[in-house]
Amino acid sequence: MVHSYRAHSGQVTCVASCPSKETVFLSSSEDGRLLLWDTRNPKPASRIDTSSFSDLITSVTWHPEESDTFAFGDEIGTVSIFNLKNPKSILRAAVHSRSVTGLAFSKHSSPLLASISEDCSVAVVDSSLSEIFRDRSHRDFVKGLSWSPLNPENLTTVGWDHQVIHHTLKRKETTKPETNCVSD
């Protein structure tokens, strides 16, 4: 069975399913809206107002253990953590200098959050969005990331530079200068 839902007026940029509620998911679009969906409701989509603190949202992910918490990244490199029960307590940080292309919470060491970007970097932040790891080994846009299911310190990323890179987290590590990245 296939269900189709329409509430965006622009191209949909990302989607994330709530890990503990099968009928709940988030979507964002080039229309500038972030929608919270609950397919049990007659009108399943409700808007989360991010207009005052975010540009176009490019990536979204749910916290693996807190069903009311999710993170999103935007086109100017800002990463935000949002709690549905307390929307005014949003945390924001300029983690990247260009568009965020992906986000993933670690399931082992929550609340670590990894982010990747068109600035060719990989960053890992803690629950207060303080950076604990950064790597600039990619030479082009970083487009995919995955935490190891067995080792909580291992993160794998892929990029348009044809590389697959395994990162081992060491607090506040920085490698290679940003000049290896694609030029602006």
Span 51-78, pLDDT tens digits: 776 689 999 999 998 999 999 999 999 9
pLDDT band at 120 (very low <50, low <70, confident <90, very high): very high
As beta bridge partners, residue 28 has 14, 34
pTM > 0.85: yes
Q: Looking at the predicted structure, is the pLDDT value of residue 143 above 90?
A: yes
Q: What does the pLDDT read at residue 95?
A: 98
Backbone angles phi, psi at 155, to 5 degrees: -135, 135
Q: Which two tokens stand for residue 26?
A: 């988030």
Q: What is the C-alpha separation between 116 and 158, in angstroms, rounded?
A: 10
Average pLDDT, the chain: 89
Strands (E) across the chain are located at 12-17, 24-29, 34-38, 45-48, 57-62, 69-74, 78-83, 91-94, 100-105, 113-117, 122-125, 131-135, 142-147, 154-159, 164-168
